[in-house]
């Protein structure tokens, strides 16, 4: 049991490191979050932004990567 818990903690640690790197590098990649189809509404004192297409693209990429990594 302790070995499995250790593996799980290491896995989540790696996931957090990768997410941190993604957030650091996302500022340098300008097209992320600004794809055609992302919803952006600007009013005088209100801004609404919903990156629907960006979410779909990231979801597809993560699905493919995780399926390749965890295929049995």
In the chain, where the domains are located = 1-29, 31-72
Handedness of CA 40, 25, 58, 13 (dihedral sign): negative
Q: Is the pLDDT of residue 72 over 70?
A: no
pLDDT tens-digit series, residues 15-69? 899 888 877 887 777 766 778 888 889 999 999 988 899 889 889 988 998 898 8
Distance between CA atoms of residues 38 and 51, nearest Å: 4
């Amino acid at each position: 049991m302790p070995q499995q818990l250790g593996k799980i903690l290491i896995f989540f640690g790696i996931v957090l490191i990768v997410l941190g790197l993604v957030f650091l590098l996302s500022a340098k990649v300008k097209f992320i979050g600004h794809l055609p189809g992302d919803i952006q509404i600007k009013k005088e004192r209100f801004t609404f932004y919903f990156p629907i297409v960006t979410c779909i693209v990231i979801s597809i990429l993560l699905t493919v990567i995780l399926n390749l990594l965890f295929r049995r």
